[in-house]
Amino acid sequence: MKSNLTGLTYAQSGVNIDAGNKLIDNIKPAASKTSRAGVVSGLGGFGALFDLKDAGFADPILVSATDGVGTKLRIAIELKTLDTIGIDLVAMCVNDLICQGAEPLFFLDYFATGNLDLEKATQIITGIAEGCLISNCALVGGETAEMPGMYKNADFDLAGFAVGAFERGHHLPRSINNGDLILGLPSSGIHSNGFSLVRKIVEISGLNLQSPCPFSEKTLGTELLTPTKIYVKSCLEAVKTGHVVALAHITGGGLTENIIRILEPGQGLEIDLDSWPLPPVFNWLAAVGSVDPTEMLKTFNCGIGMALIVPAASKDLVKQLLGGFYDQIFEIGIINDSNRVSFSGELL
């Protein structure tokens, strides 16, 4: 039987190749600003080239990381505020890289959507380029996938992939000893973990994302979208001193699970919850959601986005260096031989 369907095109099925090509043209200026020593090729090829020797490495070890932004995307989509979510994406990857002592070198993104909206996609990827600029990491490529039937309406998903390097013999963590101190760097807010719980708490609060924020002068949604802090430049400067023996990015699992991951068998830590002020967003989440301190510490960063482990004799030197980047550096705990994480003081 002869079909009545003739002359179908890919665009008629919901995929617009021309729009994808236009997106590449739109983002080239932002991507070009992220170029750094070592970048060999630009956007648009089948792969991206990077020259480690040109980047200054003699005997490098490569480190890779991948991550997403989780359900924080849902808030960005509902608010139609898409210019900072890319910073979150980069931050979640490069903040992990530096915990190995690696300098982030280049970044690729994966952006999937049901219907490619050029304006929105350009906003998202321009935000990714901004995150790359902050971390001195080149945006060398990515993939834009238009997938009708997989994503509804304005929905989309993001994934990021970062590659860094360190010189052989200069990796982290180094030898961690009992009595070493834990310094905490302030977070900018919730960052990009725990948003399924955050969204549930907003739902039961009686507020919506456009409501005035109970703890700031912004709207609630704008406050929740505060982008993840990128710690690359400050932490790499601290690592170069030789006085930092380990870094821990405080992401999912919070202070309860992230620092202990880098310790030696048998080691543990004690954290003094009175050593830093809990940012207002976490007080609000705990109060409205009746979330107990144990759950807060396991779910959120609770105000500490990155932890540095330093020998006690080095703390003043490291704190002085970091003072050029942060108004406050908190001495939040100590390494011991307890084989567990313990907390003193009161979180809430």
Q: What is the pLDDT of residues 251-289, one digit of tens each?
A: 999 999 999 999 999 999 999 999 999 999 999 999 999
| Inter-CA distances, 131 with 73, 92, 185, 198, 254, Å | 16, 10, 19, 24, 23
- Residue ranges in 33-182 assigned as alpha helix (H): 72-79, 85-97, 118-134
The position carrying tokens 């932890």 is 307
For residue 156, give every residue at least 6 positions away whose Cβ sits within 8 Å of its Cβ, in sequence order, or none: 73, 77, 111, 112, 113, 114, 124
The encoded tokens of residue 227 equal 């982008």
Number of residues written out for the chain: 348
Exposed, middle or buried by CB within 10 Å (0-12, 13-18, 19+), for 68? middle
For residue 55, give every residue at least 6 positions away whose Cβ sits within 8 Å of its Cβ, in sequence order, or none: 36, 37, 38, 105, 165
Predicted local confidence at residue 90, as pLDDT: 98
Give the dihedral of Cα atoms 77, 83, 88, 90; nearest 10 deg: 130
CB atoms within 10 A of CB 284: 18
Q: How far apart are CA 21 and CA 31, in angstroms?
A: 15
Tens digits of per-residue pLDDT, 240-254? 999 999 999 999 999
Predicted local confidence at residue 122, as pLDDT: 94
Predicted local confidence at residue 296, as pLDDT: 98
The pTM of this model reads 0.94
Partners of 103 in the β-ladder: 165
Q: How many CA atoms lie within 13 A of 292 on its CB side?
A: 1
The residues of the chain scoring below 50 in pLDDT are none
Ordered domains of the chain (ranges, CATH): 11-167 (3.30.1330.10), 181-344 (3.90.650.10)
Contact predicate 236/100, CB 8 Å: no
